[in-house]
Structure 1
């Protein structure tokens, strides 16, 4: 007779049944042999490190291993890789620190993280069958630009070899490849809209932090980013902290290599912060979100003023003009909020505002300042034009060969231009400038077309427009600073371009819009 309950299962009843699979960590303990093997291996590594490595390098290695083991469940995720890559680029100044690893060259932190990202993605593509290559959208402008540089190198190959500059040129190609790889790596890591929004938020707040400490640097004359070696395992490459002044005051460097680079980098985040004030996933309350990102925008603007850069005024002017032409209501609304902030800045820091903004009203003095120190290092931009075009006329179409110009160090063979477009003209000729224009401007045009005609969702349209404005502003700055020499701002440009590639290929589209060759549903 049934009692309504099943009889208890005895070992005899379970004979022949498949054994239950117990997941690691669910009450099981590792075998003593495995523990002993790991202990012996770790001891061997420690002993070898003590014998072969400097104490500081060994200590850094052990600390790194310990942190990796403790945080392995957090670190070994794609969002963590994105965060570490962005944090390294935003917070560790380039050409100032290196990892304490005995190598023939100085391994800077940003290069190490780029290498880690490339290796991690390579392994994922090899062993994870569910991972597919995600479209980059802007690969063809990059390809055209690289092709023009390669043509310049081939045409000038024999001369570069005879002058002993072939290795220098190849190093220039390698460095450019490392920088461009950030675009492809970040694009492959952005697999969902939530990850994209989270990445944009984190990256923008990192910029806010940099701006905040730039203001502190301007007031206290202390750059916290030059103190990282005190609490991080980093080796200092340069001791000097930079000494740039304008309007009788020191200019803030922040985590950048130069005040101009800092100002340009921060300007790129202004459209992004304005977009996030409306569409960020945190804070959830609309008014809290507007207040939070309003404060962030105010701090970024303060960081720009602390850098005291006229180039930043040009960048913001270009951004405003694009918004005024294509989104006039948004531009006028921003102007209404910007005017009180500008008046406040003129009252608090009048010398900086006069140097940045009001100096444009004195055209004669402004032009004269760009003709100073002709023929010397640090000469004005207009003073560089005549000697630069003397060299351009010798190689007008294909230039001298990309990467052949050395402007610093004992092997310097040219002068600093503070003009990336002119530098490309000298190295790769008119062909290189055409390729560079395609590389910088094609994404802007594609994003604007998507934002105004193809996007089905307002949030995707505004994101594409904000990114187009940001990239256009950076493109305008290329006439006033060496983009390839200031790594942080260029890498930020690459990361924002990766986000732009996501919204262009995976963002919503109207039924009448042309469909991309790849759709998000293909990738599971």
Structure 2
């Protein structure tokens, strides 16, 4: 066997890469790292149960072997989405005692923020990607700050200033997901893949919600049995129409239903524009089945709020994409018939109860003055508190509805909650924050989008956000983190659509106008 003399040896290639200088010895670093690892393992075995260092070594080995996959921006998006979609908020924390609960979704949010901050500091070529909806958020936050300042003295005297500031921190943490995800959506492929990931997560959640409804076993409440998680509180129980309602990975059946409803327009969009399956017919079949599965999860939650959300989304779709909306309605009829045959009591509680207006209104007046009272029963005492300071409210975050320090009652109405805490000024800012993105996305779809697939994505996101906005009158959205964080991620997708997709130019509009006028002129002649 002969060796080609023109091929440099390994040590020669290393010397060439270092500008003719000998490559630094790597053997010493490897030996040092091995000795350090051995020392750490020895200390861990002596002072800790053997199972813990074994698990740590196994985890470190897995991280090292998959480092080329884990330490990437798509992997960060994946882990953030999975932690939000699959691990119930306020139920689990990492088993690390540092004085407060390290909930997995919070840990992933802070990791994402730190990684992005580091990337901006290290890489000067990395640019900030516009979020598109910053000014509606700015208006809303400004109204909350004004409310806090106007009530500053009262909050300090009542010992609620720290509670109010904590509410601002909590809101900032949740909103940071919007900005973080937006910075990671750098291309159309990444954006569609991210939406696909979220949609498949929703399908999985819906599937296990149906299983929970049938077997009364919630797999998401058993994550601590095979993941290193510490349970903060046990599972709850909610019933309607004589049966248990599914929680899934949400904090409440209403929150689960709202979350799944937001995915209906996204799944309809992906049925046509998803990257995989590549075959159009296979793609439609896959996402049609996914939509049916999500609809089953909504039925398992047995929530009338879901009916309102779906109704608002249908009406908006009927105005802007009537063909898609009507096709969806026709496809939903067999599902409703099937649901009526399989779970008639649940369907009657969800849908047919709207036909009996007197009974529906009466149900909202139950248990007046008690915890968990009907929404209309809470309206009179809530408005009595609003009357004390109707313009600035009582101070954002000053209401405590759980625990020994509770000073108010649960409203199941986020708009009313904002009215009580931030007054009419806060509600106006809240309306701008929730509705301005919908208007901007729909305007873009009708007048600005150069490609139909981008216009349809803008409509899908706008319809999902509008449905979530309608739900704000029926549950405390700021307290149910999963659905609120999904709203933030959809805002990130909407921001990508508005700022990074091609727009129609003046010449394009002129050509379209000419193409529209030409046939008319020809027909007239």
What TM-score comes out, normalization by structure 2 length? Answer: 0.91
**Any idea what the Cα deviations from partners look like across 1:125-177, whole Å, max 9, x if unmatched?**
00112211001100111111111111111111111111111111111111100
Report the CA distance shift for 1:391/1:8 in structure 2 as closer, same or farther (over 3 A).
Answer: closer
**Any idea what the Cα deviations from partners look like across 1:438-489, whole Å, max 9, x if unmatched?**
1100000000000111111010000000000000000000000010000000
Check the 8 A contact 1:259/1:308 in 2, yes or no.
Answer: yes
Q: Which residue of the other structure, out of 322, 330, 336, is the alignment partner of 2:316?
A: 322
Name 1:504's counterpart in structure 2. 498
Counterparts of 1:431-510 in structure 2, within 5 Å, are 431-510=425-504
Q: Which residue of the other structure, out of 405, 412, 420, is the alignment partner of 2:406?
A: 412
Name 1:3's counterpart in structure 2. none
Report the CA distance shift for 1:364/1:51 in structure 2 as closer, same or farther (over 3 A).
Answer: farther
Name 2:65's counterpart in structure 1. 70
Report the CA distance shift for 1:99/1:91 in structure 2 as closer, same or farther (over 3 A).
Answer: same
Give how far 1:70 is off: 2.3
- Provide the secondary structure at the position in 1 that maps to 2:278: coil
**Whole-angstrom distance in 2 between the partners of 1:122 and 1:437:** 31
User: Which ranges in structure 1 are unaligned for 5 or more consecutive residues?
Assistant: 1-6, 23-27, 515-524
- Provide the secondary structure at the position in 2 that maps to 1:134: coil
For the pair 1:377 / 2:380, whether they are aligned, the reply is: no
**Any idea what the Cα deviations from partners look like across 1:253-300, whole Å, max 9, x if unmatched?**
000000000000000000000000000000000010000000000000
- Provide the secondary structure at the position in 1 that maps to 2:419: helix
Give how far 1:43 is off: 4.4
**Whole-angstrom distance in 1 between the partners of 2:49 and 2:390:** 51
Check the 8 A contact 1:144/1:438 in 2, yes or no.
Answer: yes
Name 2:17's counterpart in structure 1. 21
Give how far 1:328 is off: 1.8
Report the CA distance shift for 1:48/1:310 in structure 2 as closer, same or farther (over 3 A).
Answer: farther
**Whole-angstrom distance in 1 between the partners of 2:51 and 2:172:** 31
Name 2:388's counterpart in structure 1. 394
Check the 8 A contact 1:57/1:100 in 2, yes or no.
Answer: no
- Provide the secondary structure at the position in 1 that maps to 2:16: coil
Q: Which moved more, 1:261-270 or 1:152-161?
A: 152-161
Name 2:287's counterpart in structure 1. 293
Counterparts of 1:309-348 in structure 2, within 5 Å, are 309-348=303-342
**Whole-angstrom distance in 2 between the partners of 1:17 and 1:359:** 77
- Provide the secondary structure at the position in 2 that maps to 1:227: helix
Check the 8 A contact 1:56/1:100 in 2, yes or no.
Answer: no
Report the CA distance shift for 1:60/1:103 in structure 2 as closer, same or farther (over 3 A).
Answer: farther
What's the RMSD between the two structures over aligned residues? 2.3
Counterparts of 1:114-263 in structure 2, within 5 Å, are 114-239=109-234, 241-263=235-257
**Whole-angstrom distance in 2 between the partners of 1:148 and 1:49:** 52
**Whole-angstrom distance in 2 between the partners of 1:291 and 1:30:** 58
- Provide the secondary structure at the position in 2 that maps to 1:353: helix
Name 1:25's counterpart in structure 2. none
Give how far 1:357 is off: 0.1
Report the CA distance shift for 1:232/1:17 in structure 2 as closer, same or farther (over 3 A).
Answer: closer
Give how far 1:8 is off: 5.2
Give how far 1:44 is off: 5.0
**Any idea what the Cα deviations from partners look like across 1:35-91, whole Å, max 9, x if unmatched?**
232234334555666788898876665554333222211100000000000000000
- Provide the secondary structure at the position in 2 that maps to 1:20: helix
**Whole-angstrom distance in 1 between the partners of 2:449 and 2:209:** 37
**Any idea what the Cα deviations from partners look like across 1:398-418, whole Å, max 9, x if unmatched?**
111111110001111100000
User: Which ranges in structure 2 are unaligned for 5 or more consecutive residues?
Assistant: 509-525
What TM-score comes out, normalization by structure 1 length? Answer: 0.91
Q: Which residue of the other structure, out of 27, 33, 50, is the alignment partner of 1:32?
A: 27
Report the CA distance shift for 1:372/1:47 in structure 2 as closer, same or farther (over 3 A).
Answer: farther
Report the CA distance shift for 1:347/1:43 in structure 2 as closer, same or farther (over 3 A).
Answer: same
